[in-house]
Amino acid sequence: MKFIYTLILALLLAAAGTISLNAQKSSINVPLPFDRYYDLEDLYKAIEVLNEAFPELTTAEVITQSEEGRDVWAFTINNPETGDHLAKPGVYVDGNIHGNEIQATEVVLYLMNYLLTNYGEVEKITELVDRNAFYFVPSVNVDGRYHFFNNANTPSTNRGLRVPGDGIRDAVSDRSISNDLNNDGSITQMRKRDPFGQWNTHPEDPRLMVRAEPGEFGEWTLLGQERYDITEDTQISEDAERYVDPNRDWGSNWAPPYVQRGAGDYPFMGNVSKAIAEYMVGRPNIIMVFAFHNTGGMFLRGPGTKARGPLNPSDVAVYDILGENAEKIVPGYDYLISWKDLYSTYGDFTEFTYNTIGAFSFVGELFMARQETYAAYEDLMSADHESLGFGTTTEQDLQRLKFNDNVAHGTLFKEWEPFDHPIYGEIEIGGWAKMSTRISHPFMLKDMAHRNAAAVLFAAAQTPKVEMEITRNERIDDNLNRVRVRLVNHNAIPTMTNHAVQNQLYPQDMLTAEGNNIRVVAGGRVTDRYRDRVNYKEHRPELQFLRVPGTSVVYYDFLVEGNGELTINYNSRKAGQRTANTTIN
């Protein structure tokens, strides 16, 4: 069926011409190319193309509009022939919650493309798609993505929500922001020659500067990002965009702005965070979450603050399996604890998904600047990072300039050039370009995307896989039978996080025994199956609440009276449903 559909699609494309974005851009076909970054228009078209090419496996839907009215798309991959998506473990992946972190979208899009184009061709991928439901939001911050591509920026601007600022509270917003003074597409730095400055030209490369020695003057004054005051009120950038961080406004361990910079006025202030929260609540089967950011090369887990206390040890054991294997799949990345190994955060997304949704959750921080090397292979293998020029920030920049000059051929750094500034007079403008510093060069993109997608797929392969079997049905009295049920979870992820059980986030898994002309007189968990020791439940023995840990076996006994067909049902939010039958004689 898939082959026939693919053949028909190919013939239609041949007749109609290739599906393309527009005359100026290269065509987007399946499989998607990953030789460049996808701007927002590219992304929308890529989602459309994947949905059109694989209609039986995919659903694409707009879940909300951004603050500026742009569509935010969610994309589902599920094989309906193996069950409804809600009846399978759910794997949720998103990216680009910060508008400048564009390569996060590429990883999500790559994973979508990889699953679909390899389904039916690669056995392991086919099994993953058949057994799981995959949910994607490729770009969370579509406004930030749009403006990052279409406006001049630094590598770190257009990060937050598009909320206007009014720095001097005169009821006029966004009048004076950073400007691309030399029209080169990047917001870089301004410097001015000054005999009383604090910076000197670096002795090894005049493009860099170093701090003047204590007690001495330098030759340069740094003036910050290139900009000028269009209102002529003597204040520079007083109405720059207000910083509201879409990864600090989630309703779990939220804190106000005086505690957490970027928190906004209240939890779920952003349109998209509200919509994604509702989207996830409507998909209670989600057990695994990856949220991709950049930069640093990390897989981060919670808690976000020390005050939250350590995670439950059984949950940590699962995180360790996933995180330690992710480190091996993506060499150089580190599996870390957010507050302990990086910094504390309040109200972030993966705190919400772990504490409220009940999903094991990682932040993937993409790209490592230390990959931008200019060194012989044997030196890379034998030396530490510091000796290769990755000690101080200045040493890192020297190494990166060599990479810029000889590998990226000058595309990452804007050479200093003179400019006549209306306030500062004769200055120079230059520095790291927009598409640098936090973003890998396009030639490095596919490897980064594939390895991080593979880390997600490793986790997806560990979602709960529960098999149920009736292992015993024996007469133990004139009108009494013992029925033993075995539940085996073959994978590392349990059917519920321990945190979800302890905090009663939702009902536990349920095991029920029922049948016509049959009465369950006792039931409970088997504590010693060799000695038939059972912890019998006092009330409603036909209904048992449970959690099946990762890579484990649990047994339950039911003592039943009567004759007829007995049906055992297992129902789990995260692991799906199972049914088994036996005859009571």
Residue 546 identity (one-letter amino acid): L
Angle at which helices 445-460 and 103-118 cross, to 10°: 60
Gap between the Cα atoms of 230 and 215, Å rounded: 37
Lowest mean pLDDT among 221-235, 354-368, 376-390, 526-540: 376-390
Per-residue pLDDT tens for 553-564?
999 999 999 999
- According to DSSP, the β-strands at 189-197 and 218-225 are antiparallel
At residue 62's C-alpha, the angle toward residues 454 and 119, to 5°, is: 35
Q: What is the pLDDT of residue 173?
A: 38
Give the mean pLDDT of 409-435. Answer: 96
Per-residue pLDDT tens for 84-96?
999 999 999 999 9
Question: 137: closest CA among 145, 148, 127?
Answer: 145
Q: What is the pLDDT of residue 164?
A: 67
Where does 330-420 have alpha helices with state H?
A: 349-352, 377-382, 393-406
Q: What is the pLDDT of residue 289?
A: 98
Secondary structure E strands in 203-297: 209-211, 218-225, 286-294
- According to DSSP, the β-strands at 518-528 and 552-562 are antiparallel
Confidence check: pLDDT of 168 > 90: no
46, two tokens: 């890529």
Gap between the Cα atoms of 427 and 192, Å rounded: 5
Locus of tokens 């995260």: 574
Give the mean pLDDT of 302-321. Answer: 96
Q: What is the pLDDT of residue 176?
A: 40
**What rounded mean pLDDT belongs to the chain?**
90
Confidence check: pLDDT of 204 > 80: yes
Confidence check: pLDDT of 491 > 50: yes
Distances (CA, A) of 293 to 139, 287, 541: 11, 20, 48
Secondary structure E strands in 505-549: 509-514, 518-528, 533-536, 543-546
Distances (CA, A) of 231 to 142, 167, 177, 519: 30, 13, 10, 83
Confidence check: pLDDT of 294 > 90: yes
Confidence check: pLDDT of 191 > 50: yes
DSSP string, 507-518: PPEEEEEE-TTE
Residue 32 DSSP symbol: P
Q: What is the pLDDT of residue 208?
A: 95
In this prediction, residue 380 has a pLDDT band, given cuts at 50, 70 and 90, of low
In this prediction, residue 32 has a pLDDT band, given cuts at 50, 70 and 90, of very high
Asked whether 143 and 68 are in contact (CB, 8 A), the reply is yes
Q: What is the pLDDT of residue 67?
A: 94
Confidence check: pLDDT of 499 > 90: yes
Length of the chain: 585
Question: 436: closest CA among 310, 322, 278, 295?
Answer: 295
**Gyration radius of the chain over CA positions:** 28
318, two tokens: 């699962």
Per-residue pLDDT tens for 206-249?
999 999 999 999 999 999 999 876 555 444 444 445 789 999 99
Asked whether 442 and 36 are in contact (CB, 8 A), the reply is yes
Confidence check: pLDDT of 8 > 90: no
Give the mean pLDDT of 18-36. Answer: 65
Q: What is the pLDDT of residue 396?
A: 83
Which residues fall within 8 angstroms of residue 103, CB to CB, at 6 or more apart?
A: 37, 294, 366, 367, 439, 440, 445, 448, 449
The residue ranking higher by pLDDT, 7 or 490, is: 490
Confidence check: pLDDT of 6 > 60: no
Q: Which domains does the chain have, with CATH numbers?
A: 52-148+249-366+453-460 (3.40.630.10), 164-240+370-432 (no CATH), 466-584 (2.60.40.1510)
Give the mean pLDDT of 555-579. Answer: 97
Residue 212 DSSP symbol: P
Q: Side-chain half-sphere of 226: how many Cα atoms within 13 Å?
A: 31
Question: 511: closest CA among 533, 467, 543?
Answer: 543
